[in-house]
Amino acid sequence: MRAAIMQPYFFPYLGYFELAAAGDVFILYDNIKYTKKGWINPNKVLRNGQAAVFSLPLKNDPDILDIRDRRISKDFDKRRLLNQFREAYRCAPYFDDAFGLFESVVMAEEPNLFEFLHNSITATCRYLGIRSSVVVSSELEVDPALKGSERIIGLPIRHSTIRHSAIRHSRNTGKAEWPHLACAYGHVF
């Protein structure tokens, strides 16, 4: 069983979906701190040949909140964002097909940032034909004292579609092998 894990992004880059497709299961990390410097809610659109940043506006909340505890601002002008995308990409190949996906995601009535992003990622995976099961990290029991890569390695993957595999050490390389976590944070173990 191969698993991939990433934090959610709003319409992420192609490599994100390549990672999702590489595993039997794709774990969306929701119980980690939101970071303002990351690419969780901002993204770029190509406007007049130049990259322009746009962002899902968030409610002003303390920086200590996890991604799953953040809310989208009530001031989010969904139609404006749709118009920006329409203008930027209307001449692109497959625009009509892809715009329907974008519109359904943007117009979703979901105030929770993680749930909004979860919806966009699962909808895009379906659109792309990615068959990996999508699992939310907080649904998996993990020791809260674990941090960083230890937390990822410590994920006790018990889900109807996932079997937990113990850590093994290869006699040939001396490196730990994690058959249940083939990829983490975009890196293959």
Look up the pTM and report it.
0.79
Q: Nearest Cα to 54, choosing from 69, 76, 32?
A: 76
Mean pLDDT of the chain: 81
53-77 per-position pLDDT tens digit: 999 999 999 988 999 999 999 999 9
Q: Quick one: what percent of the chain has pLDDT higher than 90? A: 56
Find the range with the poorest average confidence among 57-66, 113-122, 153-162.
153-162
**pLDDT of res. 144:** 73
pLDDT at 178 over 90: no
* HSE of 39, CA atoms in CB hemisphere, 13 A: 10
Confidence of residue 41 (pLDDT cuts 50, 70, 90): very high
Say whether 142 sits in a helix, a strand or coil: coil
Measured over the CA atoms of residue 6, residue 11, residue 15 and residue 17, the dihedral's sign is: positive
